Amino acid sequence: MNTQADISDDTYRESMGQLLVLYTQVDLLIMEICAERIADAPDEAARLALAKQVGDESRHVAIQRDWMEKFGTDTAPVITPKQQDVIRAHFRGLPWLEFLADMYLCVEALGSEAVENIVPLADPGTRESLHVPLSDELDHIAFGVSRLKQELAQLPEEARQAFLAMIPQRIEALMEAFLGLGLDVRNLFECVGADYRALCNAVLKRRDEVLEQVAA
Ligand SMILES: [Fe+2]
Ligand SMILES: [Fe+2]
Evaluate if pTM is beyond 0.85: yes
Domain ranges of the chain: 10-215
The CA 30 to ligand 1 mean position distance, Å, reads 8
CATH placement of domain 10-215 = 1.20.1260.10
**What is the rounded (10 degree) CA torsion for 206, 208, 213, 216?**
-170
The CA 27 to ligand 2 mean position distance, Å, reads 7
Residue 72 backbone zone (phi > 0: left; psi -120 to 50: alpha; other: beta): left
Ligand nearest to the CA of residue 27, numbered in listed order: 1
* The pLDDT of residue 177: 92
Provide the residue-wise pLDDT of the chain in tens; the chain has 216 residues: 445 688 888 999 999 999 999 999 999 999 999 999 999 999 999 999 999 999 999 999 999 999 999 999 999 999 999 999 999 999 999 999 999 999 999 999 999 999 999 999 999 999 999 999 999 999 999 999 999 999 999 999 999 999 999 999 999 999 999 988 989 999 999 999 999 999 999 999 999 999 999 999
Residues, CB within 5 angstroms of ligand 2 (ion):
137, 140
